């Protein structure tokens, strides 16, 4: 059980963001921590792990984004009681190490989902119009979109796709077909079926031992001629050598992502068929920063003051 008793010392909340929040989000976080009587410390755009190790030394709570919190960080964070990943995916936190250090780990599910979903369509319009190179592209209307995983982002993608007049299908190993159908989306029976039947597949799966490198040569190879794969999930889910081999063999396929692959230079050779944003951009809107950042701050206050553990992801 984590000790959440308050002492006379001010609680210190560290915002450690290699990719900073917008100012309006930081102001919102500060308003929450000020109201609780906590001290807020910012470590933004840090370039060395040593800076993080130094900054966490006396932090009671920490808000992060894709920043890595591993055993070494937790060893250095002697006072830490809670770390909140302001966002959905928490594969950047060593959960077992957090539990071993008596640190509660949380995420803020759904808070940046619309932002990520809107970026999917930004990438798609750019991709399907041939990267705005002046040639005639095609339209999203009438195309079949496959959504892999029907969580918060997948559902927002489906909502927006309806406005484009797309034919929408989804597959989620953990979400019943009835729930998908109730959202007005066709439920594919399998991941294979989704890839076989859709013109475009958008990935919204987390990076887990089961999903890592699961988007591979065979699976993407099932896509129809002219297929587009969009990845705003995690680079780890892609079998990069497999996708490179496939794109070499099939000049009709496009890969669009906001997470630079490790093999970016190899992919970059597929001119006009590959695009990656320089930084992960899915959740990089003022609105998403405000939603996720303030939710994280509120979750910290709720935990430290009342022991609320909703959204805890480690046990
Ligand atoms: C998430 O998991 O919430 C998204 O991938 C956003 O990540 P970011 O906060 O690093 O932009």
CATH topology of domain 113-276: Rossmann fold (3.40.50)
Ligand 1 atom closest to the Cα of residue 281 is 11
Give me the residues paired with residue 12 across strands: 39
Q: If you take atom 11 of ligand 1, which residue's CA is the nearest one?
A: 283
Ligand 1 atom closest to the Cα of residue 107 is 3
Domain extents for the chain?
A: 12-111+285-306, 113-276
Residues 220-269 pLDDT 10s: 999 999 999 999 999 999 999 999 999 999 999 999 999 999 999 999 99
Residues 147-185 pLDDT 10s: 999 999 999 999 999 999 999 999 999 999 999 999 999
Residues 58-91 pLDDT 10s: 999 999 999 999 999 999 999 999 999 999 999 9
Phi, psi for residue 91 in degrees, rounded to 5: -70, -10
Whether this prediction's pTM lies above 0.75 is answered by: yes
Q: How far is CA 114 from CA 24, 57, 109, 241, 275, in A?
A: 18, 35, 11, 31, 21
Q: Is it true that 12-111+285-306 and 113-276 share their CATH fold? A: yes
- Residue owning tokens 């896509």: 223
Q: Token pair for residue 158?
A: 């489906």
Rounded Cα–Cα distance for residues 281 and 263 (Å): 19
Residue whose CB lies within 8 A of the most ligand 1 atoms, among 115, 282, 292, 293, for a mutation test:
282
Rounded Cα–Cα distance for residues 118 and 114 (Å): 6
- Cα(87) to centroid of ligand 1, in Å? 5
What distance, in Å, lies between the first and last C-alpha atoms of the chain?
A: 10
Q: Which residues lie with the beta carbon below 6 Å from any ligand 1 atom?
A: 19, 65-66, 87-89, 112, 280, 282-284
Ligand 1 atom closest to the Cα of residue 19 is 10
- Cα(241) to centroid of ligand 1, in Å? 24
Ligand 1 atom closest to the Cα of residue 232 is 5
Sequence-separated (6 or more) residues with CB below 8 Å from residue 250: 221
Class (C level, CATH) for 12-111+285-306: alpha beta
Instruction: Specify the 3-state DSSP secondary structure of 285.
Output: coil
Give alpha helix (H) positions in the chain. Answer: 23-35, 49-55, 71-76, 95-100, 113-128, 152-163, 177-182, 191-197, 217-220, 240-249, 264-267, 286-306
Q: How far is CA 21 from CA 26, 114, 163, 243, 293, in A?
A: 6, 16, 29, 32, 8
- Cα(228) to centroid of ligand 1, in Å? 22
Residues 269-296 pLDDT 10s: 999 999 999 999 999 999 999 999 999 9
């Amino acid at each position: 059980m984590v000790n959440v008793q308050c002492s006379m010392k001010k609680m210190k909340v560290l915002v450690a963001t290699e990719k900073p929040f917008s100012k309006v989000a930081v102001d919102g976080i500060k308003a929450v921590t000020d109201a609780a009587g906590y001290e807020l410390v910012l470590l933004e755009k840090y370039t060395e792990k040593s800076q993080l190790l130094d900054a966490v030394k006396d932090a009671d709570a920490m808000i992060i984004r894709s920043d890595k919190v591993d055993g070494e960080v937790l060893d250095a964070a002697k006072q830490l009681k809670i770390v909140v990943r302001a966002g959905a995916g928490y594969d950047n936190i060593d959960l077992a190490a957090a539990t071993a250090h008596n640190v509660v780990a949380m995420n803020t599910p759904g808070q940046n989902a619309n932002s990520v979903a809107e970026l999917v369509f930004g990438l798609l319009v750019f991709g399907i119009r041939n990267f705005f190179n002046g040639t005639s592209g095609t339209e999203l209307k009438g195309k079949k979109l496959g959504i892999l995983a029907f969580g918060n982002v997948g559902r927002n993608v489906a909502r927006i796709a309806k406005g484009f007049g797309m034919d929408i299908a989804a597959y989620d190993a953990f979400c019943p077909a009835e729930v998908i159908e109730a959202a007005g989306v066709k439920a594919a029976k399998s991941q294979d079926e989704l890839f076989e039947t859709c013109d475009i597949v958008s990935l919204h799966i987390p990076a887990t031992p089961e999903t890592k490198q699961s988007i591979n040569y065979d699976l993407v190879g099932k896509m129809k001629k002219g297929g587009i794969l969009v990845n705003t999930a995690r680079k780890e889910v892609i079998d990069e050598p497999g996708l490179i081999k496939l794109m070499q063999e099939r000049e009709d396929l496009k890969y669009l992502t906001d997470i630079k692959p490790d093999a970016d230079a190899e992919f970059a050779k597929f001119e006009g068929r590959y695009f990656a944003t320089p930084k992960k951009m899915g959740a990089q809107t003022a609105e998403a920063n405000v939603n996720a950042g303030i939710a994280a701050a509120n979750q910290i206050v709720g935990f430290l003051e009342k022991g609320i553990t909703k959204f805890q992801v480690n046990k």
